[in-house]
Amino acid sequence: MPVAPPLAGRAGPAYPDRPADRPRRARTVHRLAWVSAAVAAVAVAAVLSLAVGSRTLAPSTVYEALLHGGDGPAAQVVRTMRAPRTALALLVGAALGMAGCVMQGLTRNPIAEPGILGVSQGAALGVVLAIAYAGVHTLSGYVWFAFAGAGAAGVAVYLIAARGRDGATPVKLALAGAAINALLYSVVAGVLTTRAAALDEFRFWQVGSVAGRDAEVLGQVWPFLALGTVLVLAVARGLDALALGEDMARGLGQNVAAVRITGGLGATVLTGAGVAAAGPIAFVGLAVPHLARALVGTDHRWLLPLSALLGPVVLLVADVIGRIVVPPGEVPAGVMTALIGAPFLIVLVRRKTVGS
């Protein structure tokens, strides 16, 4: 008896090359290629950070210093100064990139960044109070006060926005963040006005930099960065659904309140830890998610990991450029990211205006 031909488009393991699957496979290959390129870019940026400075070292010298030690001047520079600086830039860049991505997803605001929820200004208030009233004068001491201030500011913004029948909507979050930012800025300015001796010390932290940080600071912040990463990755699907609107997200089975709380908490932890360790680094959280979105699309399961890779690249490159533009001195990374990010924001605004 002749066997009937298979039905066209029939699903099953015997039909692995369905036409509908080809675009999906092509997208996956495309995204994997960009992720692989980003991993390579991180490696190159890290090598540059270890090798370039007031004294440029060959990559072979960096390799020998890291893997085989040594007591020479070059080995000491690499291990005690540049390695902790590079490691911190990797962690802070990844944290700010993911935090910006989540905040843009939660608020559905293309210009949202880690400072929008008052987190950065809360960290600044914590540092000011530590210097002016607690007698803390070390970077490792600032971390805990900055993190506490960032967390308190994030919680305050959410509690204010959550009041009312609609809960913490994107518009209410943005407005509450702006109000808390203004309030905290006024308090910081007031403390610095009455405690002028704290101003000189505070301004070195406020400019944002990964220089001068040691392994102790890394040890203090990395557990919080790990916790924040787990929280934001857990809501990747929820952020995709939320982009379609709250009603559609609920229709897809997502708990909108849980997504907002978990994502907001994760972004606050990431921002708080990053800002506590390096100061307020501008524009990384704004620019990186847009760049990642242009490369892999809007799926947060790809967008968050790519933001975590591109953030360190941007911060490391900015830090390296800052070391060589005005030798023998250097420009802090926070200044360089602002100089790079300001033109990016202008281009983004122009594109949005033209598109509208």
- Please give the share of the chain, as a percent, with pLDDT higher than 90: 31
Q: What is d(CA 261, CA 279) in angstroms, rounded to the nearest whole number?
A: 25
Instruction: Name the average pLDDT for the chain.
Output: 84
Domains of the chain: 34-50+61-66+73-325+333-340 (1.10.3470.10)
The predicted pLDDT at position 38 comes to: 96
Residue 153's contacts (CB-CB under 8 Å, 6 or more residues apart) are 117, 118, 119, 121, 122, 123, 125, 180, 184
User: At residue 164, what is the residue type?
Assistant: G
- Mean pLDDT calculated for residue range 176-188: 91
Reply yes or no on whether the pLDDT at 184 is more than 90: yes
CA angle 10–13–15, rounded 5-degree value: 45
Of 171 and 291, the one with more pLDDT: 291
* H-type alpha helices, the chain: 21-51, 59-68, 73-76, 83-107, 119-133, 139-162, 170-194, 196-206, 215-234, 236-242, 246-251, 256-278, 284-296, 300-324, 333-355
Return the pLDDT at 8. Answer: 47
The CA-based diameter of the chain, rounded to the nearest angstrom, is 97
Over range 275-302, report the average pLDDT: 90
Residue 208 predicted with pLDDT over 70: yes
Lowest mean pLDDT among 124-128, 209-213, 295-299, 351-355: 351-355
Return the higher-pLDDT residue of 338 and 312.
Answer: 312
Instruction: State the burial class of residue 189 (Cβ atoms within 10 Å of its Cβ: 0-12, 13-18, 19+).
Output: exposed
The model's pTM is 0.85
| pLDDT exceeds 50 at position 262 | yes
pLDDT-derived band at 352, boundaries 50, 70, 90: low
Confidence band for 22, pLDDT divided at 50, 70 and 90: low
Average pLDDT over residues 132-149: 85
**Which pLDDT band holds residue 252 (cuts at 50, 70, 90)?**
confident
Q: Within its chain, how far is the Cα of 198 from the centroid?
A: 28
| Confidence at residue 227, expressed as pLDDT on a 0 to 100 scale | 93
Reference 254, options 272, 273, 241; nearest CA is 241
Which of these ranges, 44-58, 81-95, 201-215, 267-281, has the smallest mean pLDDT? 201-215
